[in-house]
Structure 1
Amino acid sequence: MNSASQEHTHKDILIVDDTPVNLRVLAKILSDRGYKVRKALNGQIALTACQTLLPDVILLDIMMPDMDGYEVCQRLKSDPKTQDIPIIFISALEDEWDKVKAFKSGGSDYITKPFQIEEVLARVKHHLTIQQLQYQLKIQNAELQALNEQLVRSNLELEQFAHVASHDLQSPLQVIIGNADLLTWKYEQQLGPDGDRYLTNIIDASGRMTQLIQDLLTYSKVGIPPLAQSFESIDSNFVLEEALANLSGEISKSGSIITHSHLPTVRGNESQLMQLFQNIMANAIKFRLPDVSPKIEVSCNQNNREEWQFEIRDNGIGIDPDQGDRIFEAFYRLHSYDEYPGTGIGLTLCKKIVERHGGRLWFDSIKGEGTSFYFTLPALKS
């Protein structure tokens, strides 16, 4: 006597047929392979049996009195408790329409009588395997969802912590800077060259820390939900002008030439989109070639994914393409602070803003010739 495969041993099979000899034959075939078998002589008994104990697979005849197999199947599939049970029709009906009707009623498979034993066993095993895989997938999806929810909570807690910690650090830091300034102003003669140098180092370091805290605060605010609810229609031209006004000092000092085409109206958060433009253009100004005035071009086109694709192109020192997405990592620096001051958060913030708006951010660069940053924003639906 052969047995069912180990993982399918003792699986419950319900056979529904109004012909007792068919029930006996099928029951013996399946029982000999290690399956638990229940029998029902009509549709009503089958429905009652399913409510009492859910079978793993149902073998269902079509031509039965009072309630045919199609109705039995439809009623099982309309009940949330039984809708996921695989139903294999076994019938002498060979017309294509009968088979189509069986599948339309919710059947998973169809076997024509007279049947072959090995075919029945193979079909039963096949649907038990599918059922088992679906169950495992359901468990894995539930576990992934739980992990994702845990990750979202952890990220939110981390962002809130960064916001609170950064905010609380600003006051004592301003006290340090203020007192260092007072010492420099009131006791410059007594301090001497060494003391003046020490205080200058304190003030410079405190300034760097202030900038880092401000960047961390900005970064943490991007992650505080519900961001999408604050989205509104934004004229990108207006946002760009705001960013240019904030950079007016750097633009004038560097002799930057900035041009732009007409930009579209998008849906988003105004302050964050302004920060996005400002950070990318500030980088273009900072990472310029020696003795070369920065040239920055801002343009936009609609791509074939129904997105607005923005490009901010510069003629700066360029980025090694091998750096890839590392340049978007927080605190990752390509150059020393003394060479190019900064906190290393600017592009990380840009990436987060773009992703929160449902877009993508990437770059293309040639060392010594310049860089193009691209980002997409969803197009407004008419």
Structure 2
Amino acid sequence: MNSLKPEKGSILIVDDTPDNLRVLSATLGDRDYDVQCAINGKLALMAVANQPPDLVLLDIKMPEMDGYQVCEALKSQQKTADIPVIFLSALDDVIDKVKAFAVGGVDYITKPFQVEEVLARVEHQLTIRRLQKQLQNQNFRLQQLNEDLKRSNQELEQFAYIVSHDLQQPLQTITGFAELMLTLKSQINLEEEAEEYVLPILDEGMRLQQLIKNLLHYSRVGTKQAAFEAIDCNIILEETLSNLSLAIQESGAIITSEKLPMVFGDRLQLGQLFQNLIANAVKYHRPGIPPQITVSVMPKNQNWQFGIHDNGIGIPADKTQRIFQIFQRLHTQQEYPGNGIGLAICRKIIDRHRGDIWVESDLGLATSFYFTLPIYESQSPSITPEITTARNRPS
């Protein structure tokens, strides 16, 4: 039964002395290397152009074109620049060896050479060459996989947007009729038992409407992108508190904030970011303890580091990464209503703004969400906020 030997590598030997070519060619060929020979620099460059080898063994003293010039020619071409070159020469001065490495050689063997030394150095360089090729192939495959994943994510986001958008109208019809039945229950003689069925339809319909709304927000972060502009985060915070005024009032929350900086970004998305994080801080408070929420900011490594700090129920340490994934929830609907999309939206927004987002928490005591945004170019970090202003509970 015949078996194919694995290819060990191809080697081009360049030497103007036929005896050297014969010895090296026979020695390397006996070790299953694929060997080519050239008796001068011009023929060597022609051979490389025709069939690039994995390694070149190159003499220095040759007529017309010496080994240094051959190596420089190889390194000047993108197609051949990565081919390792081992110089094989009778020149033994340090200056000759230094020049060999300066023009791109990876090793230097002095004549007369020992066969075992040549074989060891050749195999060493070919092993490096094989590993480099494997790494290049793996990087290429990873790049292809990343491109496929990116394309798949874009298609999924577009699909989620289209489906969510198309679901809104029939759902509005369902909830609209449920509301109408409850409004006209006396006129249509709606039985008490029937009313018990209509109310869950309305409640679940409204919850599904909110889910669709959040899915649309999530998909739009990737597909509906507005141009970046200079934004005053103090105004964003004021609008957020206005939008959340009812929840703030019902929970008795007290929210304080440092003076916030200008940033460069998508106004709607940054508003959604602040609203999601502060809404969570209000919602996940401990029973009987009004939320105490602080918004902080400080310059750090060419970025503004924002913090949303609360005194709520906290997050288990092993769940702090999971919460940024879509549809990941730590509580039941009965405990804390929600759909597990808000923090996933926050992460997508921060990714688009080239920042980071993370959470630090003491279970049962407090949670701090941090995120970074690049410092606005026209603004100096020296405007670090100093004064904390209290925001009263809405009356």
**Is this a same-fold pair by TM over 0.5?**
yes
Confirm or deny that 1:322 pairs with 2:355. no
Residue 283 of structure 1 corresponds to 280
Q: CA deviation at 1:274?
A: 1.1
Letter in 2 for 1:192: E
1: CA distance between counterparts of 2:98 and 2:376?
Answer: 43
2: CA distance between counterparts of 1:333 and 1:36?
Answer: 61
Question: Which among 249, 271, 289 is matched to residue 246 of structure 2?
Answer: 249
Question: Which among 259, 264, 281 is matched to residue 261 of structure 2?
Answer: 264
Q: CA deviation at 1:8?
A: 4.1
Once the two structures are overlaid, the 10-residue window that deviates more, 26-35 or 205-214, is: 26-35
Q: Which has the higher contact order (CA 8 A, sep 6+)?
A: 2
Deviation readout 1:24-69 (Å, 9 max, x if unpaired): 2222221222223222221112112222322221111112221111
Residue 335 of structure 2 corresponds to 339
Residue 227 of structure 2 corresponds to 230
Residue 236 of structure 2 corresponds to 239
Residue 142 of structure 2 corresponds to 144
User: Residues 38, 290 of structure 1: CA spacing in aligned structure 2 closer, same or farther, 3 A cutoff?
Assistant: closer
Q: CA deviation at 1:6?
A: 5.0
Confirm or deny that 1:350 pairs with 2:346. yes
2: CA distance between counterparts of 1:339 and 1:272?
Answer: 28
Question: Which among 262, 279, 302 is matched to residue 306 of structure 1?
Answer: 302
Question: Which among 163, 166, 179 is matched to residue 164 of structure 2?
Answer: 166
Q: How does 1:15-30 map to 2 (within 5 A)?
A: 15-30=13-28
Residues 91 and 113, structure 1, Cα contact 8 Å, conserved in 2: yes
Unaligned runs of 5+ in 1: none
Please give the secondary structure, in 2, of the residue aligned with 1:169: helix
TM-score, with length taken from structure 2: 0.89
2: CA distance between counterparts of 1:61 and 1:233?
Answer: 64
Select the structure that is richer in helix: 1
Residue 217 of structure 2 corresponds to 218
TM-score, with length taken from structure 1: 0.92
Please give the secondary structure, in 1, of the residue aligned with 2:217: helix
1: CA distance between counterparts of 2:175 and 2:59?
Answer: 87
Aligned length in residues: 374
User: Residues 18, 380 of structure 1: CA spacing in aligned structure 2 closer, same or farther, 3 A cutoff?
Assistant: farther
2: CA distance between counterparts of 1:241 and 1:96?
Answer: 73
Residues 8 and 125, structure 1, Cα contact 8 Å, conserved in 2: no
2: CA distance between counterparts of 1:291 and 1:7?
Answer: 74
Please give the secondary structure, in 2, of the residue aligned with 1:344: coil
Q: CA deviation at 1:97?
A: 2.8
Identity %: 56
Residues 16 and 43, structure 1, Cα contact 8 Å, conserved in 2: yes
1: CA distance between counterparts of 2:183 and 2:247?
Answer: 28
1: CA distance between counterparts of 2:186 and 2:336?
Answer: 30
1: CA distance between counterparts of 2:318 and 2:11?
Answer: 59
Deviation readout 1:272-319 (Å, 9 max, x if unpaired): 11111111110111111223221111111122x433221110111222
1: CA distance between counterparts of 2:55 and 2:334?
Answer: 72
Once the two structures are overlaid, the 10-residue window that deviates more, 247-256 or 279-288, is: 247-256
Residue 53 of structure 1 corresponds to 51
2: CA distance between counterparts of 1:102 and 1:193?
Answer: 96
User: Residues 258, 198 of structure 1: CA spacing in aligned structure 2 closer, same or farther, 3 A cutoff?
Assistant: same
2: CA distance between counterparts of 1:267 and 1:100?
Answer: 52
Q: CA deviation at 1:86?
A: 1.4
Please give the secondary structure, in 2, of the residue aligned with 1:332: coil
User: Residues 318, 188 of structure 1: CA spacing in aligned structure 2 closer, same or farther, 3 A cutoff?
Assistant: farther
Deviation readout 1:345-371 (Å, 9 max, x if unpaired): 111211222222222222122233221
Letter in 1 for 2:253: S
2: CA distance between counterparts of 1:313 and 1:141?
Answer: 41
1: CA distance between counterparts of 2:161 and 2:194?
Answer: 35
Unaligned runs of 5+ in 2: 379-395
Please give the secondary structure, in 2, of the residue aligned with 1:230: coil
Letter in 1 for 2:85: I
User: Residues 112, 232 of structure 1: CA spacing in aligned structure 2 closer, same or farther, 3 A cutoff?
Assistant: farther
2: CA distance between counterparts of 1:96 and 1:153?
Answer: 55
Q: CA deviation at 1:381?
A: 4.9
1: CA distance between counterparts of 2:364 and 2:289?
Answer: 11
